[in-house]
Chains A and B, each alone.
Chain A
Amino acid sequence: MSSEPVAVRLARRGNVLVPLGAVIAALFLGALMILALGANPFEGYWELIKGAFGGTDNLANTATRAMPLLLVGTGITISFRAKVINIGGEGQIIAGALLSTVTALTVPGLPPIVLIPLVLLMGCVGGAIWGGIPGALKAYLGVNEILSTIMLNIVAIQLMNYLLRDPLIDPLEIERGTRIPQTERLSENADLPILIPGTRLHLGVVVALMAAVAAWVFLWRTTLGYRVRAVGASAPAARYAGISVKRMTTLALTLSGAMCGLAGAVLVFGSESHRLLTDGSSSGFTGVAGFNGIVAALFGGLHPLWTIPSSFLFGGLLVGANAMQRAIQVPAALIVAINGLVVVFVVSSTSIRTKLTRLVTLFDQAAAERASPGELQSADREEVTP
């Protein structure tokens, strides 16, 4: 293979090179915007890379930030594989966080070995409920899931705001009259243990990795997972094969919600403050993971294992962007706009990636033909030649 032309060798690396090129193109446009704001883009981007991947602390921050993206992304993968679009990640994260928080408030005295798995499980349950509702509504009553998940996001935010400003509020906040909408510091027994002392890297990262692997095993190594994918591939065919499309649709959204709910629990018990708090919207708590997780999943080609590096890179972009804002003092809004550009460019590059893959296949076929002439039918060649 070493005798291959450079172009072909590059094309073989297309899976990595093309998205990377797209990111660079988007960052170039971003650089022009930074220039227009009177700051130095090189310095800015250097700070971004340093802030995301430079040193243990920053890598730990990136991993911590990537964790909810990976969990949500894994959930998104499951639902998209069943051809169900889950835009309800934000609401499901909140539902999981609320139920796990209530659990920790109810039984704070349990030993960590019991309490930590329990709150994580309750996070899954909360998210599963919030995902199961639109799943069942779609399967049994024909309510489109995009509509119901968007609406349930709104309901979850209002529910959280109400619970945190009244029933679940830290009693100290009422006593002092400051009334900050947050719970008391939750039981230390539920704290997710820190993996590397001195950093923010906590057990949640391992939980997320395990969840991604579990989702892969579920989708590709179990009968149930096969059924879910069969429904996504072709509902009529699945029905013909005796698979209950309704049950699989509900299951896919329920599992998807469970993953998001788990992210909610991990966000609460792995947070710096170890409590649930709200800024009135969902994003102050979720970090918009419900949407960013969709992006991470699709960058990862809707594959749970590929979502791992994709979440890590996207988390790095988010962490690094904040570092860049600190270092060169550009408005936060610029970072949001550049993130948008990166998403648009990378997603646009996938078709180029596909074309390259096809070219490589062509080249290989040609090589195979050279090796054993006459074996390929001429009709085949016509088909693959554009």
Chain B
Amino acid sequence: MNDWLTATFAVVTIASAVRLATPYLLASMGEAVGQRSGVLNLGVDGVMLLGGFMAYWTVLETKNLLLGVVAGIVTGAVLGLIYATVTIVFHAEQGISGIGLYLFGLGMSELLFQEQVGTPLPIKSFSTVRIPLLADIPKIGEVLFDHSLMAYAAILLVPVLTVVLNKTTLGLNIRAVGENPEAVDSLGVSVARTRLITIVFGNAMAGLAGAALVIELGIFQNNVTNGMGFIAVALVYFGAWRPAGVLAGSLLYGLVTAIVTQWKTAGLVTGAAASFTSMAPAVLTVIALVVIARRNAPQPSALTHPFVRGH
């Protein structure tokens, strides 16, 4: 295979990158909104796993992909309610309760999978949607306009969330709650309610990310995310809490992984070099952040601070 610089290679690589980036993007956007309101959630991976399993199980039983997606979102939202109770009502330390949420999701998804399904049976996936006319543009058509429904949905959410965060009252409240909850509270806006909304939304997005991952794979396996949720949290920092930044981070991580995979299957890197290219996505993400975003936006001032009135 010497055609690694050709158009086919580009098409295959980009398709692969978008597939890989979609779950990161979904989970990461949800986490970004949560962090904007001052809530860190390290449990994304666990929520993705349980959401992914419930989506898989639903599709397996009903053969309905849309129901599966709904199941993933609802599971995420329910876990979000629990996490909101823990962090808002009990003012629990966010980093540690997130790890608890992760362990719970990891264990429960595996337990339910073993008890209810057992064998990893395949489910159908979303077929790619070719956008008519646009996809027929030579060379770039296939690259840009022939992806799965979930990928389009994730990318469309980027401008939507940007507008919501920057141009609406809700978005203003979210950002204000993340920067100065005391001031917002004194203006009569409920910090608790705002954070409840962002936490439930963020976890629902993580559940959706799990559903997107599992449906794209067409199969479930114990610990199927393999730590993707943690990378999604990391990408929030890469994207400096902006949906567009998170999109860039997800695509970068997905693209590097895709290129490495293509190189390996084409036999371009072998042996020890192959092992080192496996580190490339992680290393390049850090380097890219150093190079591009040296003047990183400061994080929301109230991040990880529980809000207790009068303190």
Contact = CB atoms under 8 A, between A and B. Distances in A.
Does A touch B (CB under 8 Å) in the complex?
yes
A87 B108 CA distance: 23
- The contact size tier of chain A is 35 or more
B97 A347 contact: yes
Interface residues of B, number: 53
Contacts of A162: 272, 275-276
A234 B97 CA distance: 24
A333 B294 contact: no
A350 B86 CA distance: 11
Contacts of A152: 282, 286
B93 A340 contact: no
Interface stretch (B12-20, B155-163, B207-215, B233-241): B233-241
Contact of B278 (A158, A295, A337): A158
Contact of A85 (B91, B95, B279, B290): B95
Interface in B53-70: none
A37 B107 CA distance: 14
A210 interface: no
B121 interface: no
B8 interface: no
A85 to B, nearest CB: 6
Interface string A121-158: 00000000000000001000111101110111011001
Nearest to B226: A281
B282 A340 contact: no
A85 B233 CA distance: 13
Nearest to A154: B282
Contacts of B282: 151-152, 154-155
A211 interface: no
Nearest to A338: B107
A336 B227 CA distance: 16
Interface string B123-162: 0000000000000000000000000000000000000000
A361 interface: no
A297 to B, nearest CB: 9
Interface stretch (B98-106, B176-184, B194-202): B98-106
Contact of B100 (A143, A151, A159, A341): A341
A291 B110 contact: no
Residue from A137, A333, A341, A342 with most neighbouring chain B CB atoms (10 Å): A333
A348 interface: yes
Given A147-B237, A150-B230, A162-B272, A298 B296 contact: no
Contacts of B11: none
A213 B281 CA distance: 39
A148 B85 CA distance: 30
B170 interface: no
A336 B234 contact: no
B275 to A, nearest CB: 4
B92 A336 contact: no
B279 A344 contact: no
Could you tell me the dominant secondary structure of chain B's interface residues? helix
Contacts of A334: 107, 111
Contact of B104 (A299, A344, A347): A344
Interface in A20-45: 33, 37
B188 to A, nearest CB: 20
Given A150-B230, A333-B111, A351-B92, A161 B275 contact: yes
Nearest to B296: A142
A146 B234 contact: yes
B67 to A, nearest CB: 25
B283 A151 contact: yes
A337 B234 CA distance: 24
Given A150-B234, A154-B279, A166-B272, A144 B299 contact: yes
B51 to A, nearest CB: 15
A334 B107 CA distance: 6
B81 interface: no
A348 B92 contact: yes
A217 interface: no
A194 interface: no
Nearest to B112: A333
B289 interface: yes
A349 B90 CA distance: 7
Nearest to A142: B296
Contact of A352 (B90, B103, B108, B293): B90
Given A294-B99, A331-B111, A348-B86, A151 B104 contact: no
Contact of A340 (B85, B95, B101, B233): B101
Given A158-B278, A344-B97, A348-B90, A150 B233 contact: yes
B292 to A, nearest CB: 11
Contacts of B93: 298, 347, 350
Contact of B107 (A151, A158, A159, A333): A333
B286 A143 contact: yes
B114 interface: yes
Nearest to A33: B111
A337 B46 CA distance: 10
A144 B300 CA distance: 13
A151 B95 contact: no
B167 interface: no
Given A161-B275, A331-B111, A151 B285 contact: yes
B110 A336 contact: yes
A154 B115 CA distance: 31
Between A147, A159, A331, A348, the greatest number of chain B beta carbons within 10 A of the residue's beta carbon is seen for A147
A356 interface: no
Nearest to B306: A351
B100 A347 contact: yes
Interface centre among B233, B275, B299 (most CB of A within 10 A): B275
A339 interface: yes
8 contacts: A143-B296, A150-B233, A158-B279, A331-B115, A333-B222, A339-B103, A344-B86, A348-B97
Given A334-B107, A338-B107, A340-B104, 7 more contacts: A33-B111, A142-B294, A143-B289, A147-B285, A294-B95, A333-B107, A343-B100
Interface of A: 33, 37, 85, 87, 137, 141-144, 146-148, 150-152, 154-155, 158-159, 161-162, 166, 291, 294-295, 298-299, 331, 333-344, 347-352
**Which 6 residue pairs of A and B lie closest in terms of their CB atoms, listed nearest first?**
A337-B107, A340-B104, A343-B100, A340-B103, A336-B107, A333-B110
